[in-house]
Amino acid sequence: MLHCGWISLAHGLTLALAGVAIVAVFYQRFWLLAGALSGFLLVAPVLATSLYALSRARERGERTDSQVVLKTWLNWQRNHASKWGNDYWCLVQFGALLAFAGTGWVLTSAALITLLAPAPVLNPLDFFQHVVLARHGFLFELWLAVGGVLAAPIFASSVIAIPLLLDRRLTLLQAVVASWKVILANPVTMALWAALIMVLTLLGMGTFMLGLIVLVPLLGHASWHAYRELVDASALPEREPL
């Protein structure tokens, strides 16, 4: 973060502004907002792709400027035989799958709250009164359990998959399998890592999104280093420098 400076912080600022916009639009529809904010954790790995690219460039002794970010999103493989092949679009495919999962959770969360809450949930106070602190039923526990069942396999599939796809030439399935192997080989450590990501993200949101300005790039760069320490990818062919 210190080396990349404003470029790293710009990622956090962008997501913080997006969070503020979502809250402003859906503040009086908290039955929908609760799922949207928690679903952020599902799509966060793909949103941090250019942070991984910056860390990769820093590690390789390359320039870490705005061009790295632009090329990551617009032309992430400089030289490629065919940009219509599956290999070129693997990151886009994975991002679409995460977006689909996030959308599914938003709809599931909204359905649980609107159908099972004893009163309409229109704002954060309603959510705490009628869901979190409800005297009857187990709506909040059910909401957390369903969210956890959805989030756990997504975390296991993506924890190192996107940095690996960015760094090495392999298929989407191979990257997901490698991510699961990391989880199975280090269950306690990875559970702690997942908890840290969740707590720090909630902390960032709880500070009126201001904390995300620092925490998003911090977690993004840290995720790259987690990948580098967890996976020996030396036998796989490298992708071209950005």
Determine what percent of the chain is predicted with pLDDT higher than 70. 93
pLDDT level of residue 159 (50, 70, 90 thresholds): very high
Instruction: Measure the CA–CA gap between 45 and 52, rounded to whole angstroms.
Output: 10
Mean pLDDT along residues 207-223: 95
The DSSP call for residue 211 is T
Those residues whose C-beta lies under 8 Å from the C-beta of residue 169, and which sit 6 or more positions away, are 87, 236, 237, 238, 239
Phi, psi of 168, rounded to the nearest 5 degrees: -130, 155
Q: What is the pLDDT of residues 9-19, one digit of tens each?
A: 999 999 999 88
Q: What is the pLDDT of residues 204-213, one digit of tens each?
A: 998 999 999 9
Tell me the whole-structure pTM to 2 decimals: 0.87
With a cut of 60, say whether residue 95 has pLDDT above it: yes
pLDDT of residue 215: 96
Cα dist from 99 to 103, 161, 226, whole Å: 6, 15, 23
Mean pLDDT along residues 75-96: 66
Average pLDDT in the chain: 88
Q: Roughly what angle, to the nearest 10 degrees, separates helices 6-26 and 66-74?
A: 60
pLDDT of residue 11: 94
pLDDT level of residue 224 (50, 70, 90 thresholds): very high
pLDDT level of residue 52 (50, 70, 90 thresholds): very high
Whether 237 contacts 33, CB under 8 Å: no
With a cut of 70, say whether residue 179 has pLDDT above it: yes
Q: What is the token pair recorded at 158?
A: 């993506």
Instruction: Measure the CA–CA gap between 167 and 52, rounded to whole angstroms.
Output: 9
Instruction: Measure the CA–CA gap between 205 and 224, rounded to whole angstroms.
Output: 22
The DSSP call for residue 130 is I
Whether 78 contacts 240, CB under 8 Å: yes
Number of H helices, E strands in the chain: 11, 0
With a cut of 60, say whether residue 84 has pLDDT above it: no
